[in-house]
Amino acid sequence: MMERKLRGAGCRVQVAGCRVQGAGCRLWGAGCRVWVARSQKIWLFLILLVISPVGMKAQKAISLEEMLAWAEANHPMGELADAVAERGEAALLQARGAFDPKLSGTYDLKEFKSTEYFNYGEAGVEWQSPYAVKIAGGYQFARGTYLNDERTVPANGQAYLAVKLPLLQGLITDAARIGRERGMLAMDRQQAMADVIRNELRYDLATRYAAWLYAERAVAINQETEELINVYLENTRGLFQQGDKAAVDTLEASVYLNTQRQATRQAQVDADLARRSLSELYWPLEFTDIPNGLRPEWLMVIPTGNWAATHPELQEARLTVNDYQLQERLKREMLKPTLDVSYYLLGDGFDLPAGDDQNGGLLDRAFKVGAKASYPIFNRKARGGVQEAELKIREGAAKLSAKTQSLEQKSAAYQDAIAAYNQQLSAAGQLADQSRRLLEAEQELFSLGESTQFLLNARQQNFQKALLNLEKLRFSRNKAVVTLRYLIAEW
């Protein structure tokens, strides 16, 4: 009479001619002295969990989104990205400084043998407007025995207001205005460079997270397989003691168990290495932490959209070309001759303008005008600067075109790879399901004594290979998704 009864938490043993009773899952019957190791292992694990310092820490599921947020805020590469972005603000501030009013002052005194030859002084302020014109104002004084006629001013000193204007070179644009535009470009350019650094950090972290996910899943599969093989071994020993199985069956089951234990240990080593690799980027990772789900949605979603318009590397390349174009505009401005004119409205002391109403109009009572012109005969410096700027534009445009083409081709290739992985995952899932059903059927035949340990082990190996192959394909797909996100910078 074959009797298969099972009682007790977590017991899955079926032994011909044995009865099972008690929470500890102890078996007895004719010729049966089998203790189910799994139940004993559970109690041992609980005891170790209580006394172990590691067991005192609650197991925590860590998501990839949580790691990415932490890394961007705390990892040195995240801090580097913030510093690079802030450099744009510094560059813009520096460029705007060209339009700051400038205070100036000079003082010149000469005395010889108790004679004051001259005593000159001047203080003023000058402001470069956002356009070509400059506005200046100041006050001069001069006294002494030997004064230069050109520097002679009224006894009360002389205040002045001045307007300076370039009529040729510098009228349309100049270094200050071009510098301000370049500073505004630098804001966006530095932000793009910071986003490139963040993109690299996210890719590195996401790739290691995917590897950790796969390694932890492989450990779980191997551990489950080891537990089942251990149950097979105990069953085979029970049947051998009853005379229903040969001794070689127990030896085969024992060899298979030891082989699987080695595979489980290797999987645990791989998982530990993957965890340590991940902890290089995510320092709060604890030994008890686990991935948040075996198939996180973040890795399942395929990014879409017009990524080329916002891609940081392409954006940085475009802004670099724009910067070259601004430099080329300034170089072309240098091809023009210089012709600067100035007009000074002069006063008597601080009375502007000097003189009275009978001495002419408001602007021609007391004034000073000037003009200055220059032009290099060959102007090779300016012409060479224009040629160099044009070549930089060509180089930058070529790099932008090549980078765009490369990213488009690579992203298309990974999209095709993801679609192929999806098809393979569907087929691998079906194969794993078929292998599971074959294993369940073989287990039933083995319990009835109509199968051998060899066939049972073969079915178990095929099922384990199918599961590991399924997880490996899932890992390959996850890596492809991560790489695609990295290529198009969509996170």
**Please, which residues have CB within 8 angstroms of residue 251's CB and are 6 or more apart in sequence?**
none
User: Could you tell me the residue ranges of all domains in the chain?
Assistant: 1-56, 63-98+200-332+380-491, 101-131+133-169+338-374
pTM: 0.78
More confident residue, 206 or 361: 206
Residue 99 has what DSSP assignment? G
Query: pLDDT tens across 35-53, in order?
Result: 334 444 444 444 443 434 4
Contact by Cβ (8 Å): 196, 319 = no
- Residue-averaged pLDDT of the chain: 84
- Of 206-210, 245-249, 287-291, 331-335, the least confident: 245-249
Beta strands 290-291; 61-62: pairing state: parallel
Angle between helix axes 175-242 and 453-488 (nearest 10 degrees) is 170
pLDDT at residue number 455: 87
- Of 135-139, 216-220, 265-269, 300-304, the least confident: 300-304
Name the β-bridge partners of 27. 20
Q: What angle do CA 44, 45, 49 make, to 5 degrees?
A: 120
pLDDT at residue number 50: 41
pLDDT at residue number 443: 86
pLDDT at residue number 470: 94
Residue 336 has what DSSP assignment? S
More confident residue, 132 or 37: 132
Stretch 276-287: mean pLDDT: 90
Secondary structure (DSSP) of 157-216 = -EEEEEEEEESSTTTS--HHHHHHHHHHHHHHHHHHHHHHHHHHHHHHHHHHHHHHHHHH
Query: pLDDT tens across 322-368, in order?
Result: 999 999 999 999 999 999 999 999 999 888 887 665 555 666 678 89
Name the β-bridge partners of 377. none
More confident residue, 192 or 114: 192
- The closest of 121, 144, 138 to 346, measured between CA atoms, is 138
Stretch 2-17: mean pLDDT: 37
Domain 63-98+200-332+380-491: which topology? Outer membrane efflux proteins (OEP) (1.20.1600)
Encode 46-72: b = buried (16+ Cβ within 10 Å), e = exposed: eeeeeeeeeeeeeeeebebeebbebbb
